[in-house]
Amino acid sequence: MIETAGGMIPFLCHVFLILFGGFFGLNFAFNKGFVQKSIGYENIQATYMGRPLGFLMMGLVLMAAAALFQVGGVTSANEVFGALFIFTVLAFLYNLSLTMNILPTHDGNPHEIKNVIRPLIPMVVILIRYFTL
């Protein structure tokens, strides 16, 4: 598995992205308080907004796991991580624009910086994986 992933560092990045995406995907999909308490949306409808995002992230995680274990003929996770990278770049830019007051927030309160940093974590791991292959 480590050789097919491209070495030890890409393998560890692959495993980290599966665990990180799995945690957030499951929380978005099934934890009703995650969107409200952790991200800061007070409206109950925000919970239902996060569910499709959670299922989307879980789909990416399952494809990454299938590529890691080479299940069903899936041998490359580059497309999956490419889609995840685009998602994290867009999430970072959106949260940055909310924090810098370029776009208005949903409730008029200032946007917390932690929401800008969260998408950077998988983005950096994907870049490390890409440059160490």
Average pLDDT of 11-33? 87
Give residue 41's pLDDT. 65
Whether 9 contacts 129, CB under 8 Å: yes
Does residue 27 carry a pLDDT above 90? no
Q: Please indicate whether residue 5 or residue 121 has the higher confidence score (pLDDT).
A: 121
Domain ranges of the chain: 2-132
Helix 8-30 vs helix 120-132: crossing angle, to nearest 10:
150
Q: How confident is the model at residue 10 (pLDDT cuts 50, 70, 90)?
A: confident
Contacts of residue 4, Cβ cutoff 8 Å, sequence gap at least 6: 70, 75
Q: List, for residues 67-102, the tens digit of each pLDDT value.
A: 888 887 767 788 888 888 888 888 888 889 889 988
On average, the pLDDT of the chain sits at: 82
Give whole-number Cα distances, 92 to 24, 30, 113, 129, in Å: 16, 23, 11, 19
The CA distance from 22 to 2, in Å, is 21
Choose among 47, 50, 58, 53: nearest CA to 22. 58
Which among 1, 8, 4, 2 is positioned nearest to 132, based on CA atoms? 8
Residue 83: what pLDDT? 82
| pLDDT at res. 43 | 66
